Amino acid sequence: MKNLFIVVLVLMTKSLAIGQTAPDAIALLREVNKKFASVKDYQVDALIDARISFLKILPQRAKVYFKSPDKFRVKSKGIAILPKQNFDQLFQLMADEKAYMAFVTGNESQNGKMVTILNLIPLSDTTDLVLAKIWVDTARDLIVKSQLTTKSNGTVLIDYFHGNLSDYALPDKMIFTIDVKRFKIPKAIAADINSKSTAEPNRKEPKTGQIIISFSNYIFNKGLSDEYFKKD
Amino acid sequence: MFVLHVNDESGYFMWNIVKAEIVKITAKPRSYIGFVAITVIVGLIHLAMYLDGLNYIGFITTPVQTNFVLEGKILNGNLVWFLILQTLIIQIPLLVALVTGDLISGEGAMGTIRLLATRPVSRGQLLTAKFIAGNVYVFFLLLWLGILALGLGLWFFGPGDLIVIKSDALTILQSQDTLWRFLSALGIAFLSLMVVSSFSMLLSCFSENSIGPIISTMAVIILFTIIGTMDIPLFDLIKPFLFTTHMVIWRNMFDQELQWDEIWFSLSVLLAHIFLFFGISMMAFRKKDILS
């Protein structure tokens, strides 16, 4: 709680220092969210490519289903590894303006475009999300990057790449950069006797992993049945 | 009653001796202990996984699931097959030794070795026939394990991608990419068990009763396995020289990118052990005093 107070205090000070007020941030987020709010449901093909040091997996095809306000499901024939955060978690948070405080903290150039940086702090202290930092391309009202700090999973950085469906804020590709801990289970449990460690000695293991999800064949606002969201 | 036909054609003659040895193995009740043990263990593992498999999977994938979500059918026939192979291949050498450790010393204990030596069969041919028959037994034991584990696994759980769990890494293989790996793994496991059978047969050549070679083989495998399990720097120096280290190379068939250099090296080490053990057995058996 004390930490949250300090974070809020620092952000408010910074926000006031550059002359932006909370209502401006809310208005900007409203514009950003307006695009996605027009999507009532969608289904899309996804290619999930996990690049995590301890995990060896080939890219996996999956189908992603979403139905407003919060139904979300990924189905794959094989085993796919996904980030814990739903792809639309940020939009769900932004949709309820009373659920967070928002501040504009500055502007910066991203890939030659000026973007505005906002911080969102959920008001409820029971949510897993502690702070969301988002980079908004104000010319297109699109989120281009977000950084979610959570209680349970550390920090998740998400890069968004938009194509044809940028009017609906539906990305063509998302890159999740996630904090990872070293994978280690006892040899006896893994029945991994007589084996050599696959990790090279003296080699620093990367502390983050990436999951790259490419989307194609969006079908949206066609009325998606609730059947798609039932757990098998 | 099996009658040994002697023929001038050496191939046919050898085949007859091998057949005689196979008949002798099948006539002994202890030869079926392995098949029964495998059937019971495979059945129990399937039952346990059917009733509580998801909790087990959840437990061993906890380090992944703290940051990620694993989507898809994780508990499937391929995973159960892999878990069974991984568990049983540690125990199967003991079942193999139970039969192959008795091949020479059993004859000595019963006094039939003298009778055998009066036949027009050289000691070298006799030992070779016993070696082949012992490995035919190993082959069928592994075949039974493969059929039972795969058949029951696919029947209970269906196919699916395979999660290979190592102590410091996870590999996920696509379902269609698993069958050839399993068959190759069984092939390598067969070669590994041939090392055990030749080792126990070697000990059998120096003993007059079956208990000694069987227990000694088990003790050596257990000792080597314990050394292989412990991450102690001194043991790390010893591990490459233990045949048990190379016996688990079958697991490398389940790496996403196969390390062929490592696999071929271990296979050649296993083959070298087989030739070495069989060669020493041959020398010992040719000079074995069967009159005392």
pLDDT over 60 at A159, yes or no: yes
What does the alpha-carbon distance between residue A55 and residue A183 come to, in Å, rounded to a whole number? 9
pLDDT at B275 over 50: yes
Contacts of B249 in chain A (CB under 8 A): none
Contacts of A198 in chain B (CB under 8 A): 166, 168-169
Find where tokens 């008795």 sit: B102
With H, G, I as helix, E, B as strand and everything else as coil, classify residue B83.
helix
CB-CB neighbours of A146 under 10 Å = 21
Confidence band of B292 (pLDDT split at 50, 70, 90): low
User: Of the candidates A56, A187, A194, which has its C-beta nearest B169's C-beta?
Assistant: A56
**What is the arithmetic mean of pLDDT over A67-77?**
86
Q: Considering the domain boundaries, does residue B220 fall inside one?
A: yes
Of residues A196 and B176, which shows the higher confidence score?
B176
Q: Is A27 on the interface with B (CB under 8 A)?
A: no
Q: Which residue in A has a C-alpha nearest to residue B171's C-alpha?
A: A56
Say what the pLDDT of residue B277 is: 95
- The highest-confidence range among A119-128, A197-206, B75-84, B116-125, by mean pLDDT, is B75-84
Average pLDDT over residues B55-65: 82
- C-beta of residue A169 within 8 angstroms of C-beta of residue A162: yes
Q: Which residues of A touch B239 (CB under 8 A)?
A: 194, 196
Query: Which member of A54, A192, A194 has the closest CB to residue B225?
Result: A194
Q: Which two tokens stand for residue A145?
A: 């990057």
Question: Which pLDDT value is given to residue A98?
Answer: 83
**What is the predicted pLDDT for the residue at B203?**
93
Q: What is the mean pLDDT of residues A100-122?
A: 87
Reported as a single tens digit per residue, the pLDDT across A209-227 is 899 999 999 998 888 888 8
Nearest Cα residue in chain B from A56 = B171
Would you place residue A25 in the very low, low, confident or very high pLDDT band (cuts 50, 70, 90)?
confident
Helix (H) or strand (E) run with residue A110 in it: strand A100-110
Closest CA to A60 of A52, A74, A48: A48
pLDDT of the residue at A17: 45
Confidence grade of residue A9 (pLDDT, cut at 50, 70, 90): low
pLDDT band at A19 (very low <50, low <70, confident <90, very high): very low
A74 touches chain B (CB under 8 A): yes
Instruction: List the single residue in A with minimal CA-CA distance to B228.
Output: A194
Check whether A208 has a pLDDT greater than 90: no
Tell me whether A79 touches chain B (CB under 8 Å). yes
Best mutation target among A56, A63, A85 (most B Cβ atoms within 10 Å) is A56
What pLDDT shows up at residue B105?
Answer: 84
Listed ranges A80-84, A88-92, B61-65; the one with the highest mean pLDDT: A80-84
- pLDDT, one tens digit per residue, over B146-194 is 999 988 898 989 999 999 888 778 899 999 999 999 999 999 999 999 9
Q: Which residue has the higher pLDDT, A13 or A213?
A: A213
Does some domain include residue B4? no
Residues A74-94, mean pLDDT to the nearest whole number: 82
Confidence class for position B60, pLDDT limits 50, 70, 90 = confident
What's the average model confidence in pLDDT over A8-22? Answer: 49
Mean of pLDDT values over B189-210: 91
Q: How many domains does chain B have?
A: 1
**Does any CB of chain B come closer than 8 Å to the CB of residue A81?**
yes
pLDDT of residue A16: 46
- B57 touching chain A per CB within 8 A: no
Task: State whether residue A143 is helix, strand or coil.
Answer: strand
Residue B3 lies in a domain: no
- Identify the pLDDT of residue A97: 80
Q: What is the set of domains in chain A, with CATH numbers?
A: 2-183+202-221 (2.50.20.10)
Cβ distance B71 to A79 less than 8 Å, yes or no, reads yes
Complex ipTM tops 0.85: no
A59 in contact with B, Cβ within 8 Å: no
In total, the C-beta contacts within 8 angstroms joining chain A to chain B are 136
Of residues B198 and A16, more confidence is placed in B198
Dist CA A41 CA A59 (whole Å): 25
Choice between A227 and A200, residue whose per-residue pLDDT is larger: A227
Q: Do A187 and B87 touch (CB under 8 A)?
A: no
Tell me the shortest Cα–Cα distance from A74 to chain B, in angstroms: 7
Q: Which pLDDT score is estimated for A112?
A: 81
What's the average model confidence in pLDDT over B15-33? 90
* Domain-embedded: residue B5: no
Which region among A206-210, A215-219, B35-39 has the lowest average model confidence (pLDDT)? A206-210
Give the model confidence (pLDDT) of B240-269 as tens digits.
Answer: 888 988 998 998 899 988 889 999 999 999
Structural domain containing residue B219: 10-286
**C-alpha A229 chain-centroid distance:** 20
Residue A75, min C-alpha distance to chain B (Å): 7
C-alpha distances out from residue A116 to A62, A95, A100, A104, Å: 33, 19, 18, 7
| Pairwise CA distance, residues A189 & A173, whole Å | 38
Q: Sort residue A47 into left (φ over 0), alpha (ψ -120 to 50) or beta.
A: beta
Chain B CB contacts of A46 below 8 Å: none
